[in-house]
Structure 1
């Protein structure tokens, strides 16, 4: 079995858990991470739309296929 090293993000999250945060704090961290990655994805999608010249009409047509 191959061992995998933890990423920097995983190590930082383990450090947070070592302080025994409250459930409220953990929910806040999850929300921040979710928002961060959602915003990052939305930015990449917008970049692809701009680069490919995709229009609102194209998106609407794809949704209705």
Structure 2
């Protein structure tokens, strides 16, 4: 059940990121980085990776820069 909940949350966040990318194109990632949780697949765009994954709560050691 936990995996299904994580999958739903990750899918919603990825859809949001894709919509932002469609609107902003190359400017979207000019001054930021893309981070992805290796456990649940959550994607985050920002200056620094979060301390913990907001979806599965693992430490940022499992969040990779893409």
TM-score bracket for this pair, using the shorter chain length: 0.3 to 0.5
More helix by share: 1
Say which structure, 1 or 2, has more relative contact order (CA 8 Å, 6+ apart).
2
- The normalised TM-score by structure 1 is 0.41
- The normalised TM-score by structure 2 is 0.40
More strand by share: 2
